[in-house]
Each structure stands twice: as structure tokens, then as C-alpha cells.
């Protein structure tokens, strides 16, 4: 059967191409798998191990659980007529952080749902995907998400580091001073319209959130391409109250002046019950 070697070669070339495509754009491959409801391309791209850390499903590990998770996700996305828009990517080393906007319209409403997906590949055969979002837009309420990463040794530098230090200290003036005065903004996790733009709006927002003290975001990983800096964190303290560590990620975009042009937050962090209702509303 002289054609058999050519057939085997063609199959191997196809597998190599799948791996190359997956390694070049791991989050794109992940989103495509969810959209199709088919995990095989993920398994072909990373034959050793694919792990998913999801706010709803928890940790998904192993081929059987991965296929079940992908099929279930596809069903949920189809029910809501989901359309996924890629907003920005931050890539450094073996880690990529991709910001998405998921448009949902299946129940007659039109919801824009901010989602961030982190892909970390320690070798050519394994990958871990970590998704971050608020569950409010889909379930109607935020839900506490325990920590999924341990505190890391990396710390954000320059303006991002100053922002975190000022937030921890509860220094509203210093926090606001890290944003560009001509349009710098923070977008909350709940929806893209939850935006606080400009000095006055930022001051009002952070005065409300930090009125009883600072908010401590303990960095777990830092992905920095010198334009955007993505920090995966655990929120461990708010207003003098220790919290059960809660997982999140924020992506900070620097402007030409070195200050923050934008901060996009993806979490479901809930303030302690001791704070007033006003200060507990929304997420940081």
C-alpha cells in the first residue's frame, strides 16, 4: 500500500499545524473550542495536559472532564446567542492574557459581558487556562470566588506598582494621581458601561471604595508587555477587614505620559459585611 506513508505523514503534518496554531494563539484556540463544543483541537495542541480554572465549573482536569466542560459551555453560549469579541492581548514569556467582550442576547436582552482568559503554557505539551469574570451579568448577582493561585514573587512596577501601593494605603489622592488626567478611566467587572472616567469620577469612585481604609490586592502573577500589565491577584483585605482571599485579574494600559490610560477589572470581589451598603455595592 504505497499511499500509507504519505497518509501518515499528512496526519502528522496536520497535528503539527494544530499545535503551532494553538501555541501561537492559545486563547483563540480555547475560545474556538468552546464555540464549536469540541475539545479535540485543544487535546491535539497540548497532548500532555489541558487544565481549565473557571469561576463556574471550578478546576477542570483530564480529557473526559475537559470534553464535558467544553460541551456544556457550548450549550450555554448557544442558548444566549453569544458572540465573542476580542478586545486586547497581553503576552509575555509563557503567558498570554486576552480580554474579551461576550455579547449575550438569547433571552431578549442585550448584555455585554467582560471576560479575561489567561493561558499559561510551561512547556510545548501542556497548558492551563484561567478565566476571570463577574457572574453578575449572567446570574444576576456576584458570587465569591476563592483564590486559585498562591501569592507570587513578582510585583508590578512603575505606575501599576504605585497604583497598588496607593490602593493598599487607602490614599485616594495617590490612587487618582496614577491615572492620566485627560481621560484615564477604570472599568468595573460587572459591565462595560460601569466606567469611571476623569479625575472627578475616579475620585468619587475611590472615595466610596476606600472610605473605610485601603484595599489589598496580593499579586500572584504579572504579565507585562510594556504597554499593558495584567496582574492576577487575591483580594485579601478591605477597609481594615481581612477577607477570605478572592481571585481576580486587572489589566492596566499605560498612556504615552506613563500614567494609567485604562484599568479593566475582572473579578467578583465582595467587600466585608461590616461596610455600608453603598461601599459594598459593585466590585473593585
pLDDT in tens, 37-63: 999 989 999 999 999 999 989 999 999
What pTM value is reported for the model? 0.90
CB-based contact 185:229 (threshold 8 Å) = no
Query: Using one digit for the tens of pLDDT, what is the confidence trace for 70-120?
Result: 999 999 889 889 999 999 999 999 999 999 999 988 766 788 899 999 999
124 and 170: one domain?
no
61 grid coordinates? 482536569
| Angle in degrees, 0-180, between the axes of helices 4-24 and 26-36, rounded to the nearest 10 | 110
122 and 213: one domain?
no
The strand pair at 83-92 and 95-104 is best described as: antiparallel
Residue ranges making up the domain that contains 100: 4-132
Per-residue pLDDT at 67: 95
205 grid coordinates? 469612585
Per-residue pLDDT at 164: 97
DSSP state of 154: -
The strand pair at 58-61 and 83-92 is best described as: unpaired
Residues β-bridged to residue 130: 53, 118
Confidence at 19, pLDDT banded by 50, 70, 90: low
> How large a percentage of the chain has pLDDT more than 90?
67
Report the C-alpha gap between 224 and 6 in whole angstroms: 44
Burial of 64 from C-beta contacts in 10 A (0-12 / 13-18 / 19+): exposed
Query: Using one digit for the tens of pLDDT, what is the confidence trace for 158-184?
Result: 999 999 999 999 999 999 999 999 999
Query: Using one digit for the tens of pLDDT, what is the confidence trace for 130-163?
Result: 999 998 877 777 788 999 999 988 899 999 999 9
110 and 37: one domain?
yes
Asked if residue 137 belongs to a domain, the reply is: no
Number of domains, the chain: 2
CA-nearest of 134, 149, 151, 154 to 51 is 149
125 and 175: one domain?
no
Report the C-alpha gap between 235 and 34 in whole angstroms: 29
Asked if residue 138 belongs to a domain, the reply is: no
15 and 119: one domain?
yes
Amino acid at each position: 500500500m504505497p499511499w500509507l506513508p504519505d497518509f501518515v505523514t499528512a496526519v502528522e503534518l496536520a497535528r503539527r499545524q494544530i499545535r503551532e496554531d494553538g501555541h501561537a494563539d492559545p486563547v483563540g484556540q480555547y475560545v474556538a473550542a468552546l464555540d464549536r463544543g469540541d475539545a479535540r483541537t485543544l487535546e491535539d495542541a497540548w497532548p500532555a495536559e489541558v487544565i481549565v480554572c473557571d469561576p463556574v465549573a471550578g478546576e477542570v482536569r483530564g480529557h473526559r472532564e475537559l470534553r464535558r466542560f467544553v460541551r456544556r459551555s457550548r450549550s450555554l453560549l448557544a442558548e444566549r446567542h453569544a458572540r465573542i469579541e476580542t478586545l486586547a492581548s497581553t503576552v509575555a514569556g509563557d503567558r498570554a492574557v486576552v480580554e474579551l467582550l461576550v455579547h449575550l442576547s438569547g433571552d431578549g436582552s442585550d448584555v455585554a459581558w467582560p471576560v479575561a482568559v489567561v493561558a499559561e503554557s510551561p512547556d510545548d505539551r501542556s497548558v492551563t487556562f484561567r478565566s476571570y469574570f463577574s457572574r453578575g451579568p449572567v446570574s444576576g448577582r456576584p458570587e465569591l470566588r476563592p483564590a486559585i493561585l498562591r501569592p507570587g514573587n513578582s510585583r508590578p512596577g512603575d505606575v501599576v506598582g504605585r497604583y497598588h501601593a496607593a490602593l493598599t494605603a487607602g490614599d485616594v489622592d495617590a490612587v487618582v494621581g496614577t491615572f492620566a488626567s485627560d481621560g484615564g478611566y477604570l472599568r468595573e467587572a460587572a459591565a462595560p458601561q460601569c466606567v469611571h472616567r476623569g479625575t472627578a469620577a475616579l475620585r468619587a469612585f475611590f472615595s466610596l471604595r476606600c472610605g473605610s481604609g485601603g484595599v489589598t490586592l496580593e499579586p500572584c502573577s504579572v504579565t507585562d508587555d510594556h504597554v499593558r500589565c495584567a496582574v492576577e491577584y487575591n483580594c485579601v483585605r478591605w477597609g481594615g477587614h481581612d477577607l477570605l482571599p478572592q481571585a481576580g485579574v486587572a489589566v492596566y494600559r499605560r498612556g504615552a505620559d506613563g500614567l494609567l490610560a485604562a484599568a479593566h477589572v475582572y473579578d467578583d470581589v465582595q467587600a466585608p459585611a461590616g461596610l455600608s451598603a453603598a461601599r459594598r455595592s459593585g466590585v473593585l
